[in-house]
A and B are shown apart, each in its own frame.
Chain A
């Protein structure tokens, strides 16, 4: 179908810059970039390089009007033009899809949401529905027009947003990390929908994404943006990746071919050299694996090294001494030695045992059943599976925050001590010293006005005497010391993520449960988070991560539990080929679905995925 009136747009930045209201620094400055009609360009750069600002300028959705007379108002310099006029004058020519799928569904029914843009731009009713139906066809969303938008999966939501954009017949498509929060199948769906949309319209495209590999087959150009420095590289993806690969990795871009190695975030032991490591150089200092954030203030150890001083290697991360087992890993060992010992001891210690566990959101909404699982000290478990299958619900149940709907979840005496065996029945204080939980959105768990108070909140509530020392150690270990007096809500995404982990670790629980700890992160932040988790596990903490991040599973060498409609099963291929350095992973037992009632109903509440 040819699309009348959808001429590809030309986008031009000329020495363009933007400063948000109330800010001293320019978000982006000195950008010279011309995107010809029909060109497809990926924009990459470090956090804070102003990529999103650039895209929002094209879509004419920057907040506030610049006011040259007011110092605290937003400010602009240079020019940004769409088809030789300011973007605001051609609203509707540029379609924007952003990161958070939840936040940009406008209407409560699928058809209405797609039609929303057409209505705003005055498209007649008959033509609107015509466009709505063909847009849904193009993005492969085979849903009834009056279907509710509340139960869609992330991939479906993003395709819905694409359909809404397509129905407006845009000349340019602008994508701001559209796949950051999606599982692998969602990423594929969105990628294919974008390709179909571009084939259909021939529109110009600008895309920003940390995991740039997703889009390389669709883009003609790769543009590297430097914070405050404008465009520093511009060319075909192959050329830019070849010439500027290291700079890209340093900027937090997930360069294809430089993925983390298996086990790279666990204790140092003979392991194959990591990709990007320069022979003879000090590990940890290469550009590709620089484990610090943009500010460069981290004193973070390499993956697997025990944080803190080498004299007292396990002090910070020693699990709570409730079961009397922490005495084994005290200070006389070297970091390496301690880690090995911890791992050996850990392998023998069950902390949580789930048998025939069923999970439910709220009172009635059953999501998982028949899950058998052991959580052991020093073990990393990755709970994976498609969206909506109940991964987060299982994580919250294991964390003692939701009551099991079926079966049992039992804490062993090692973990429970004098509390009862059922984690969900523990008091809040009993829970906090035994199982810590890091939520998907770190902002859900912040309670204090400053970073320092935030970390202290848990230990203070428990009446722990060395709270001040603990907080100091954690601030250093998580690279947050320079932000100690900042408000947690003002931190960047990566900083918030690290703070969330620090607050949970502060009460030294032997089990830590994390929900999507790495979603939507650039490479540097990812590395920092994964390093912390590796260090925790090496020190004997059981780490349970709900995730769809393959790189995380590999780097932590996690025991993978794959949730499916028929229960949970350990993934065979995730273990190191010869588990030569660690106790074999007998921890996860497969659910023999034949032995108990098969659970086809397990995923009935999951968003129905459309296979196209």
Chain B
């Protein structure tokens, strides 16, 4: 770290602000990202029930450590929870037929083979979906951006542009409410829901483009995109904590493979 040499002594004033985060929140989000990718790779190597069940079991056992309120957990994972049964049903109907046949609807067969495959797929979706959602609940996009740019070396222009766009999303929510109220105030909100929605979406797009243009000017006026090397005010480090996070996630995947091989259900 460089400190200005003109200063007689490096003072606290030149230190980055100390974040008060503890536990899981203090881990660089890039570590979670890499770990989840590693876990996902482990789980797509096989299509058996045991490996997916073991992985999911380990995850659920570790979940309380994150101290996420149950309500938040259910709300955030609801997309996965909805998708899982749908996946299961469609694979049970259309999955490769083998073994005893339970139903034959002509175009769809439910067989032993397709049922097993459906359960395995459902468990697999959960085993990958749950950690990739819960680890990013409450994550600070700024921290992720710092990690992506400094650790993974993604282009700063791309990362910071995306970060600024995320910040604008909340403004779009306010815009949408204003647009809805304005239409009600003018007597246009009683009928034509779909057409009204389309006109609001168009207005929202116009407003978003305006905002983006202004923001681009603001960023440019502060030297964004200037030639020369960019520095990073916030350190993003990959240290023991981060390695531990990756190790735990990839470890879950390896353990599940090992168990599966040991009991003989492993198949590629």
Residues of A in contact with B (beta carbons under 8 Å apart): 4, 56, 59-61, 63, 91-92, 94-96, 98, 100, 102-109, 111-112, 115-130, 132-134, 144-146, 150, 161, 164-165, 168, 396, 399-402, 427-429, 431-433, 435-437, 439, 441, 443-447, 457-458, 461-462, 489, 503-504, 507
Contact = CB atoms under 8 A, between A and B. Distances in A.
Size class of the B contact interface (CB-based, 8 Å)? 35 or more
A461 B183 CA distance: 11
Contacts of B13: 129-130, 133-134
A462 B186 CA distance: 9
Interface stretch (B63-71, B76-84, B227-235): B227-235
B214 A129 contact: no
Nearest to A174: B221
Contact of A100 (B1, B6, B214, B222): B214
The 10 closest A-B pairs by CB, nearest first: A432-B187, A104-B218, A120-B223, A428-B189, A445-B182, A126-B3, A124-B2, A145-B17, A117-B222, A103-B214
Interface stretch (B128-136, B173-181, B241-249): B173-181
B16 interface: yes
Interface in B185-238: 185-190, 199, 203, 206-207, 210-211, 213-215, 217-226, 228-235
Contacts of B1: 125-126
Contact of A427 (B2, B190, B231, B233): B190
B230 A436 contact: no
5 contacts: A124-B231, A130-B4, A428-B184, A435-B185, A447-B203
B4 A125 contact: no
Given A98-B218, A146-B19, A457 B188 contact: yes
B167 interface: yes
Given A127-B14, A461-B187, 11 more contacts: A107-B164, A121-B223, A122-B230, A124-B3, A130-B14, A132-B233, A146-B17, A429-B190, A431-B185, A443-B206, A461-B186
A4 B186 contact: no
A20 to B, nearest CB: 12
Contacts of A458: 186-188
Contacts of B185: 399-401, 428, 431-432, 435-437, 445, 504
B10 interface: yes
Interface of B: 1-4, 6-7, 10-11, 13-17, 19-20, 140-142, 163-164, 167, 170-171, 175, 178-179, 181-190, 199, 203, 206-207, 210-211, 213-215, 217-226, 228-235
Given A133-B13, A443-B203, A457-B188, A128 B231 contact: yes
Contacts of A109: 142
Contact of A447 (B10, B11, B188): B188
A125 B233 contact: yes
Contacts of B163: 107
A126 B11 CA distance: 9
- Best-buried of A56, A103, A427, A503 by chain B (most CB within 10 Å): A103
Given A106-B218, A127-B3, A129-B16, A112 B234 contact: yes
A444 B4 contact: no
A24 to B, nearest CB: 21
Contact of B221 (A61, A400, A428, A446): A61
Given A429-B187, A446-B203, A447-B183, A125 B235 contact: yes
A107 B160 CA distance: 9
Given A104-B215, A125-B235, A111 B17 contact: yes
B221 A59 contact: yes
Contacts of B225: 120
A111 B182 CA distance: 36
Nearest to A448: B199
Contacts of A489: 206
A61 B220 contact: yes
Contacts of B186: 428, 432, 436, 445, 447, 457-458, 461, 503-504, 507
A489 B203 CA distance: 9
Contacts of A106: 164, 167, 215, 218-219, 222
A14 B10 CA distance: 46
Contacts of B219: 106, 116
B17 A103 contact: no
B226 A401 contact: no
B224 to A, nearest CB: 5
Given A124-B4, A444-B182, A445-B182, A129 B233 contact: yes
A439 B142 CA distance: 33
Contacts of B214: 98, 100, 103-104
Nearest to A515: B178
Contact of B203 (A98, A432, A444): A444
